[in-house]
């Protein structure tokens, strides 16, 4: 199997993903690095909930999900959003397949706190063998983060959490967070390579602030197990590949661990 790179696309950036983003996924595949895309869809879910006049709320950053909200979330994530990404990948020359965590028992889930959050799940097991079979068929998987337990109950799963679990299951060495910014900036200059300790310093001195803080913290959380590198890239436009490397900020645990 080719090396795999897990690409997490946040819901807020999905509508603005450029043609260059999808062509860069093709470039990765041509370099024998198969992208596995895990996506969110929060804004699209919000929009449909409003149109259907279904109320929802957030608890500690997670959408409280009753049966009605779950039905809308699953409809949006596994339908509209998932197939939109598949279509764009196909146009870029990549044969792809859209699946949810329920398909093939990909994401086995359990409730985080059924009383407080309803049907919001955490991943308890990933069917890595199923995912490997898809990749071996030369398909690019596009995964909607809906999981299922042994009783057949479905759960809405945070896309960051799902992406990290998928990366761990297939022993991916690289992860990519697709955002609406070029990466980490210091004095208006893109930082191409940073360590965890450097990020902590930049948070403390205010260089990293606002919405970038949760992005880099999520990236740091993924730097465990086999994952050696996490990238933050801009999916909205511009060239995303240069000399076989993704253009953005590469985050590593320590510069001493970088392989020559």
What is the C-alpha separation between 46 and 211, in angstroms, rounded? Answer: 19
Most distant pair of Cα atoms in the chain: their distance = 55
Of 5, 78, 39, nearest to 240 by C-alpha is 5
Estimate the crossing angle of helix 212-222 against helix 196-204, to 10 degrees: 160
Q: How far is CA 72 from CA 35, 46, 76, 174, 236, in A?
A: 27, 9, 6, 32, 27
**Cβ-Cβ contacts under 8 Å for 260 (sequence gap 6 or more):** none
Instruction: Tell me the pairing of strands 3-9 and 33-39.
Output: parallel
54, 45 in Cβ contact below 8 A?
Answer: no
Of 251, 259, 256, 253, nearest to 191 by C-alpha is 251
Q: What residue numbers does the annotated binding site cover?
A: 41-42, 63, 156
Q: What residue numbers does the annotated binding site for substrate cover?
A: 41-42, 63, 156
DSSP state of 101: T
What is the C-alpha separation between 48 and 73, in angstroms, rounded? Answer: 9
């Amino acid at each position: 199997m080719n090396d795999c790179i897990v690409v997490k696309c946040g819901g807020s950036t999905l509508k603005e993903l450029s043609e260059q983003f999808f062509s860069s996924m093709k470039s990765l595949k041509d370099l024998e690095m198969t992208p596995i895309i895990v996506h969110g869809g929060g804004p699209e879910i919000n929009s449909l909930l409003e149109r259907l006049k279904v109320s929802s709320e957030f608890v500690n950053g997670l959408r409280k999900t009753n049966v009605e909200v779950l039905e809308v979330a699953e409809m949006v994530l596994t339908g509209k959003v998932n197939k939109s990404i598949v279509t764009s990948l196909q146009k870029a020359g990549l044969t792809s397949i859209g699946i949810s965590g329920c398909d093939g028992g990909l994401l086995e889930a359990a409730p985080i706190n059924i009383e407080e959050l309803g049907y919001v799940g955490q991943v308890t097991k990933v069917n890595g063998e199923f995912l490997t079979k898809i990749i071996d068929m030369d398909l690019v998987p596009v995964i909607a983060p809906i999981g299922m337990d042994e009783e057949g109950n479905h759960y809405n799963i945070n896309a960051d959490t799902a992406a990290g679990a998928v990366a761990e299951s297939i022993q991916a060495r690289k992860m990519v967070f697709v955002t609406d910014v070029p990466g980490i900036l210091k004095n208006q200059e893109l930082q191409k390579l940073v360590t965890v300790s450097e990020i902590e310093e930049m948070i403390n001195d205010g260089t990293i602030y606002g919405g970038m803080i949760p992005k880099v913290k999520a990236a740091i959380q993924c730097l465990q197990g086999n994952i050696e590198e996490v990238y933050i890239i801009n999916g909205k436009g511009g060239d995303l590949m240069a000399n076989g490397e993704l253009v953005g900020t590469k985050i590593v645990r320590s510069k001493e661990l970088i392989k020559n």
